[in-house]
């Protein structure tokens, strides 16, 4: 690395021999050693780094530049590439392969209503032994140049996949209701399913509660202002924002919807490595 630094400084500053000798002295290397390094080919370790970096870039680009070193390392080891996690982290760091994040804030939960609020049945137990045992739901937001777009999602805690979702430019009671209808149509859950959400007015609405009761669903709601009661949904929204939304300037709501659909149905559900499997 010291020789790399000397070579870079020499090219940048057009160092004279005297200054080159001084720089080598400061870095505790010899001038003859530097010239010998320049004349010989790259080391075996350097060539191996280049080979590994090519594999890393393939995984990084294939997964929308969204994977950090841990997930990239998992993908490489499963593909039979022998490499240590620290080495993957170093190569990604040295080559600028990082996840970019940007954020805007919008309040989505309105608990100022006189509707009935259900007790918390999950009590932060997010484990599930089979599908359609526990679902969690929530609403988030996406900024576009046309204004806000709201995203309602439902996740099955067994697979951590999105089983229902909907978007709209307004955060009405119909938004999560459409996501719920999609989830029920796709999964056909039996009686006993626990549906957990916050205590917002959309989830406490008569239409939403009626559909849940009709399906024999047990209704569960978070404590007031306690985001930890619905941590898996918080985690999902953090993931989609980090991997898609915060890295994109959406020109229109339609563009945002198209890319969200591509992310959920084309990447997150069928391919993405979920934290519960790591």
Reading the chain (278 residues) residue by residue, the pLDDT tens digits are: 577 777 777 766 666 777 778 878 888 888 888 788 777 777 788 878 888 888 898 888 878 788 889 999 998 888 888 899 999 999 999 888 887 655 554 555 555 556 778 999 999 999 999 999 999 999 998 988 888 999 999 999 999 999 999 999 999 999 999 999 999 999 999 889 999 999 999 999 999 999 999 999 999 999 877 778 999 999 999 899 888 887 788 889 999 999 999 999 999 999 887 655 43
The reported pLDDT for the residue numbered 4 is: 73
**Quick one: tokens of 25?**
């002295």
- Give the chain's length: 278
pTM (two decimals) = 0.64
- Give pLDDT, residue 32: 83
H helices of the chain, in order, are 2-13, 17-26, 31-39, 44-62, 69-78, 85-94, 174-187, 206-214, 231-243, 253-263
For residue 29, the model assigns a pLDDT of 85
What does the pLDDT read at residue 166?
A: 98
What lies within 8 Å, CB to CB, of 6 at 6+ separation is 20, 23, 24, 27, 29, 34
Residue in the block written with tokens 């009935």: 116
Q: Which of 98, 108, 212, 232 lies closest to 160, judged by CA?
A: 232
Task: Look up residue 186 and give its two tokens.
Answer: 């796709």
Q: How far apart are CA 241 and CA 143, in angstroms?
A: 11
The pLDDT of residue 104: 55
Ramachandran bin of 197, using left for φ above 0, alpha for ψ from -120 to 50, beta for the remaining angles: beta
What distance in Å separates the CA atoms of residue 95 and residue 57, rounded to the nearest whole number?
10
Q: CB 57: neighbour CB atoms within 10 A?
A: 16
3-class SS of residue 219: strand
For 49, phi then psi, to 5°, come to: -60, -40
pLDDT score at 193:
97
Q: Is the CA virtual torsion 182, 187, 190, 191 positive or negative?
A: negative
User: What does the pLDDT read at residue 118?
Assistant: 92
- Enumerate residues 6+ apart whose C-beta is below 8 A from 156: 128, 131, 132, 134, 135, 163, 187
Integer Cα distance of 265 and 186 in angstroms: 13
Handedness of CA 231, 232, 235, 241 (dihedral sign): negative
What is the per-residue pLDDT for 205? 93
Neighbours of 151 (CB within 10 A): 25
Query: For strand 134-144 and strand 194-197, is the pairing parallel, antiparallel, or unpaired?
Result: parallel
- Per the listing, tokens 């955060």 go with 171
Give the rounded distance of the alpha carbon of 70 from its chain centre.
13
């Amino acid at each position: 690395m010291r020789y790399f630094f000397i070579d870079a400084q020499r090219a940048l500053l057009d160092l004279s021999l005297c200054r080159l000798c001084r720089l080598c002295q400061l870095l505790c290397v010899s001038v003859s050693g530097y010239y010998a390094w320049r004349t010989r080919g790259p080391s075996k370790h350097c060539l191996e780094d280049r080979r590994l970096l090519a594999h890393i870039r393939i995984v990084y680009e294939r997964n929308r530049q969204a994977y950090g070193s841990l997930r990239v390392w998992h993908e490489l080891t499963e593909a039979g590439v022998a490499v240590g996690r620290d080495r993957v982290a170093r190569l990604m760091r040295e080559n600028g392969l990082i996840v970019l994040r940007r954020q805007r804030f919008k309040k989505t939960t309105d608990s100022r209503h006189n509707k009935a609020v259900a007790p918390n049945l999950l009590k932060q137990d997010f484990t599930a032994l089979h599908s359609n045992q526990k679902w969690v739901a929530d609403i988030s937001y996406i900024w576009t140049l046309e204004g806000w777009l709201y995203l309602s999602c439902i996740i099955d805690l067994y697979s951590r996949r999105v089983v229902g979702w909907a978007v709209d430019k307004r955060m009405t009671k119909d938004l999560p209701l459409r996501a719920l209808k999609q989830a029920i149509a796709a999964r056909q859950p039996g009686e006993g399913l626990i549906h957990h959400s916050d205590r917002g007015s959309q989830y406490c609405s008569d239409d939403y509660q009626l559909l849940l009761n009709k399906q024999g669903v047990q209704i569960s709601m978070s404590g007031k202002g306690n985001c930890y009661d619905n941590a898996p949904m918080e985690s999902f929204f953090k993931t989609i924002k980090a991997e898609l939304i915060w890295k994109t300037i959406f020109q229109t709501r339609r563009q945002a919807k198209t890319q969200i659909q591509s992310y959920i149905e084309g990447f997150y559900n069928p391919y993405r490595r979920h934290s519960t499997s790591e």
